Structure 1
């Protein structure tokens, strides 16, 4: 009974606030994320501090950090929220038309551009009360995928980066090279010698963050002369256009952006392992009705993708 009384005195909205506060570590950003006023979040933080008898957030220089207790609690808030969602989403027959939930998918700008519109259209049509949040992935998100998926519904990333988590295979794509449409150094085809000579635009270029095709090129003995390093794929064609640069890009994205960016698409002069895009999620969502529905939406959207048209 004591536990029941304790629970009766808790506001479940505080769990959402706590989870966001511990991830953002900032009252203003938490307020913006939750769409409420800053004083409301400050008040909630005060209540949480009284409940835990702990500061939770402590100032270190110009930023806030978690107390040891808050760090332990942060590991629990994501699974706790997921459990609450499963309870309230459970019905005899799942009906997405009445669903009020935000789905958060961590994704590269490539997958968001190619697949995102197809996912968003289906969610809007079938679950008008739901909302989709597409968050840009980072090397940290990928290197710590299990942690990322405690507060997100899934991660859109190709095979080769994540292991030990359930996944749904979606579609394949191939790597192509892009060069400026007016690059005089490149004719109708690229050669390995040209790839070694031309300056490159690459993504991340870190030991655990890279485009697999770039790593494969290095294994073939070509050390790219890197001129620009970026953190997204969409910007690459615009940084190649009007220059001598070359870049590797997924074909579907290259076909979308070539007409507006002024680049040409050329086959790679070496065999490249294709992109095998997949959706990864936390095992706690395995039987969650809303999450099962989301995975069906993703599978449908991926099935709509056709091989890109090649002129």
Structure 2
């Protein structure tokens, strides 16, 4: 059990910061400037990192440095680890939002950003003008990476799924929404003025975060609703974004399920109609999720209150 601790103790953790700046800048010279060291010192750090990982990390192509495949993989991981380390050593019982320069990291979908991003940005700017916010967009693999990711971010804004009910996870409800159908205004399926379940089963679909080889019960909210309606969608377009959905429905006979708050804001500009969904479907419940290790963190508790209060004012 002691081997991982001993291994960590033998590492030069200053290399984490060097790695972050090297993969950010993709330049030894610029990384040295960011680190406040000489270029030979930055080169030496890169050499040590290459030996440690057994990979070049940065290679020169056409006169400039590019990341190797491992370098690309490490680029996101080192951001998360460095942010977690900064939060760890910034933890204190004394927290003054007016003077704090702490960076908070949240994982959100573009749908949630449209609903509450502006209000949250303004609330944070007014209460903690020197604090920084790092927004990471939800990715397709979020549900599979959730158990690891939640430890290294301040929170995730997402609906509950099977993967989000870990024993060490805490949550607070933010807001609710409901599902509606989105179709082009000239879609022939609208001749009757409404959509029936049989229409939805026959029409081609635009589906965000859809995985066709999903063996377990669907964790993606849209696909879970379709499963509840017993619809096996004929997916014409898969897209890793909620905001992109309307643009692949417009001018076609495709249909999509969308959150009402988002659909009503985007429909008019894309020539779409928002219709009631037939059948029974679950309400959308968006919540803030965080790891219990942050429960006693004064700054984190302040952030949680700010997010919840901002959502309640929507």
Shift of 1:144: 1.3
The match for 1:308 is none
- After superposition, the C-alpha distances for 1:160-197 in whole angstroms (9 at most, x for unaligned) are 14121111211111111100112232142110111011
Find the aligned partners of 2:141 and 2:85 in 1 and give their Cα distance: 23
Q: Is the 8 A contact 2:15 2:45 kept in 1?
A: no
Residues 279 and 81 of structure 1, relative CA distance in 2, 3 Å threshold: same
75, 84, 91: which one aligns with 1:86: 91
Superposed CA deviations along residues 13-49 of structure 1, whole A, max 9, x for unmatched, are x37616847xxxxx33x238xxx92344684574487
Q: Where does structure 2 lack aligned partners over 5 or more consecutive residues?
A: 1-10, 60-66, 72-77
Question: How far apart are 1:224 and its partner, in Å?
Answer: 1.1
**Local SS of the residue matching 1:217:** helix
Q: How far apart, CA to CA, are the structure 2 residues paired with 1:294 and 1:125? A: 13
Shift of residue 101, structure 1, vs aligned partner = 1.8
Contact 2:177 2:283 in 1 (8 A): yes
Counterparts in 2 of 1:158-237, with a 5 A limit? Answer: 158-160=159-161, 161-164=163-166, 165-186=169-190, 187-206=192-211, 207=214, 211-237=220-246
Q: 1:111-126 residue pairs with structure 2 within 5 A?
A: 111-126=112-127
TM-aligned CA deviation for residue 99 of structure 1: 1.2
Alpha carbons 1:112, 1:134 under 8 Å: kept: no
Instruction: Report deviation, 1:269.
Output: 0.5
User: 1:31: which partner in 2?
Assistant: 25
Tell me, in whole angstroms, the C-alpha distance in 1 between the residues paired with 2:25 and 2:70: 17
Q: Deviation of residue 79 (structure 1)?
A: 5.1
After superposition, the CA RMSD in angstroms is 3.2
Give, in whole Å, the separation in 1 of the partners of 2:99 and 2:158: 30
Change (3 A) 1:44 1:85: farther
Q: How many residues align?
A: 275
Alignment of 1:1-311 (within 5 A): 14=14, 17=17, 20=20, 27-28=22-23, 30-31=24-25, 37-40=30-33, 43-44=41-42, 46-47=44-45, 55-56=52-53, 58-59=55-56, 63-65=68-70, 80-87=85-92, 90-91=93-94, 94-160=95-161, 161-164=163-166, 165-186=169-190, 187-206=192-211, 207=214, 211-305=220-314
The secondary structure found in structure 2 opposite 1:185 is: helix
Report the Cα distance in structure 2 between the residues aligned to 1:109 and 1:75, rounded to whole angstroms: 20
Displacement after TM superposition at 1:218 (Å): 3.1
SS at match of 1:238: helix
Unaligned runs of 5+ in 1: 1-9, 22-26, 67-72, 306-311
Tell me if the contact between 1:175 and 1:268 (Cα under 8 Å) persists in the aligned partners: yes
8 Å CA contact 2:179–2:257 kept in 1: the answer is yes
CA separation in 2, counterparts of 1:19 and 1:298?
Answer: 32
C-alpha distance in structure 2 between counterparts of 1:269 and 1:227, whole Å: 21
TM-score, with length taken from structure 1: 0.77
Cα separation, 2, equivalents of 1:173 and 1:64? 40
